[in-house]
Structure formats: structure tokens, C-alpha cells
Amino acid sequence: MPILQFISGVYLQFYLLPDWMQNAASVFPLKWMAQGMRGVFLPDSFANLEQSGSRDFPLIALSLLIWLVVGLVLSRVTFVSLDPQGHLGA
């Protein structure tokens, strides 16, 4: 979704976005991935431009871990397997 990329700080400078847009982007994992990439590749002088004013690597890792677990659970619940004869398995 291109809109999600814009509000997550992939193409635009995240600190220039309105607060409501930054908060909306925080719900999705792309914001956390972009923040982690900014934290790794940009110098420390850019840390104060983040939403919280610091890098917050533990919060980034926790948010992405939660999204990983949610994705694994959703994939386990929604994917259907076939047996060797091509019939739906249990």
C-alpha cells in the first residue's frame, strides 16, 4: 500500500507528519521497520527527530515480535492444507 509507505516514514520525513498520522502509522509494522532502519543507518544526531525523541530499539523489537506472532497465528488459522490425493486435510 503506497499510502502506508508515506505515513510510515519510508518516503517522507516522519517527524514532519502530523501527530495523528504518526499515531495511525504506529499500528502497522512498516512504521517500526522504517524506524529501525533509520536508527541503524542515520547518525545519532537524528535520534531526537523520532516520535519518542530516542531510538527505542527495544520497543521496535517488541512491536515487530508482536506482529510476527500475530502473523504466524493468522497464517496457521487461515491456511488450508491438502493431503497427497488433493483433498482438504484436517
**CA 36 to chain CA centroid, nearest Å:** 9
pLDDT of residue 74: 94
Note the pLDDT tens digit of each residue in 25-84.
999 999 999 989 988 898 888 888 887 777 889 999 999 999 999 999 999 888 877 777
Question: What is the largest distance, in Å, between two alpha-carbon atoms of the chain?
Answer: 60
How many domains does the chain fold into? 1
Range of the domain at 12: 2-70
Cα separation values, 42 from 13, 27, 51, 79, Å: 12, 23, 15, 39
